[in-house]
């Protein structure tokens, strides 16, 4: 049973205020790949309206993972307003329409569980690309130096426009010499 399950009887006419700091690892402990966030802050209110339950509030936290160009640890904030609806009726059963992304079922024991909505928000809110800065220069493709910190000498080691060091694709091709004979000439 979830620590973020609230029985409907605990939500009175004044609503139920919720403020919690939640470790992401407790949301879905069986999941091996989690969004790169240690904890999420949840602040909001549960209200009953005509048999349904509404949660209105805010989710915030910080994603931490390596920069996609230079591998330096990078942070990006998540701070969003959310509205979730918990209902006993599912629209796909009633009308055949697609359900709203913010519509969740009231549990069989007449409670609402906030775990899935929280997980959905942090998983879907994770940035696809994280950069330490918009003008990040990344890593040198030849020597691997972080070009934001140093200027490598790879460009000075060229002979007649060809590098003394093998390029990444040539190194990859060298690992599979049997494919060289199967390549078709370009037309």
The whole-number pLDDT of residue 18 equals 94
pLDDT band at 181; cut points 50, 70, 90? low
* Averaged pLDDT score across all residues of the chain: 82
Contacts 24+ apart (CB under 8 A), 124-130: 125/35, 125/59, 125/78, 125/80, 126/35, 126/36, 126/37, 126/63, 127/63, 127/76, 129/68, 130/63, 130/65, 130/66, 130/67, 130/68, 130/74, 130/76
Residue-wise pLDDT tens digits, 131-151: 999 999 998 888 888 999 998
Residue-wise pLDDT tens digits, 73-107: 999 999 999 999 999 875 554 455 555 567 898 88
């Amino acid at each position: 049973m979830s620590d973020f399950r609230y029985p409907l009887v605990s939500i009175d006419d004044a609503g139920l205020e919720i403020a919690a700091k939640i470790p992401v690892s407790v949301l879905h402990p069986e999941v091996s790949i989690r969004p790169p966030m240690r904890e999420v802050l949840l602040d909001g209110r549960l209200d009953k309206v005509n048999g349904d339950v509404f949660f209105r509030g805010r989710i915030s936290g910080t994603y931490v993972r390596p920069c996609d160009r230079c591998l330096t640890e990078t942070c990006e904030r998540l701070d969003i307003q959310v509205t979730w609806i918990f209902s006993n009726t599912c629209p796909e059963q009633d009308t055949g329409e697609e359900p709203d992304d913010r519509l969740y079922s009231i549990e069989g024991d007449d409670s609402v569980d906030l775990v899935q909505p929280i997980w959905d928000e942090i998983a879907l809110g994770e940035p696809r690309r994280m950069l330490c800065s918009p003008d990040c220069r990344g890593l040198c493709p030849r020597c691997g130096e972080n070009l934001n910190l140093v200027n490598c000498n790879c460009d000075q080691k060229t002979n007649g426009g060809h590098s003394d060091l093998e390029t990444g694709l040539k190194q990859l091709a060298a690992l599979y010499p049997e494919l060289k004979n199967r390549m078709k000439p370009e037309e």
